[in-house]
Amino acid sequence: MTQEQLIARGINDERVLDAFLKVPREDFVSDEWREFTYQDHPLQIGCGQTISQPFMVAIMMALLELQETDKVLEIGTGSGYVTALLAEIVSDVCTIERIEELLINAKKVLGELEYKNIHYKLGDGSLGWVNALPVITEFDKIIVSAGSPNIPHSLLSQLKNGGKLVIPQGAQAHQELVLYEKHDEGIVTHRHGGCVFVPLIGKEGWEA
């Protein structure tokens, strides 16, 4: 998968590629989909949610230019696969999931893989890391694994100056992948083509 679906299609961030080589995607896929584990498309994980297409995940991670010292906020824990990939690279991952069943399952798998730098929250991801432990008010990077009609203000407010946020933005049926960079003088926006994600449900996303 790494060679044929990522490197061959232009992913050259060594940290990202190393993470994909280390994390066993099959551990995050149910038995009924196991034979499709390393194909380049999303798979159902239950509760109307999916484990994202590997190439799209790699693009999002590469755009963030992840560093070892980064504190990263992940919106949409889902299966926990992207959480694990992030945890292989950065110092801390704070991940939010609104569906309790998915969060319980992800914590179980990630615990079995012995990750120690992941912090969990059950709640509205569109509001970010509020009323959660550890207390972190600003993040170096934010990755949103669900499509939003607009950029949630709460997430931008929790992004450090110099930080990057990547999010699928647009209609529920189809979005555009957008990278935001926050600077003292304002927000710089970069657009990176079409994509399709499940909707971001929440106060600053789509209504349930």
Which residues belong to the active site? Answer: 52
Q: Please answer whether residues 15 and 63 qualify as being in contact, where contact means their C-beta atoms are separated by less than 8 angstroms.
A: no
Q: Please, which residues have CB within 8 angstroms of residue 200's CB and are 6 or more apart in sequence?
A: 75, 76, 125, 126, 144, 146, 147, 148, 152, 206
DSSP string, 49-74: EEEPPHHHHHHHHHHHT--TT-EEEE
The token pair at 179 is 């990278």
- Rounded to 5°, the CA angle 145-150-154 comes to 75
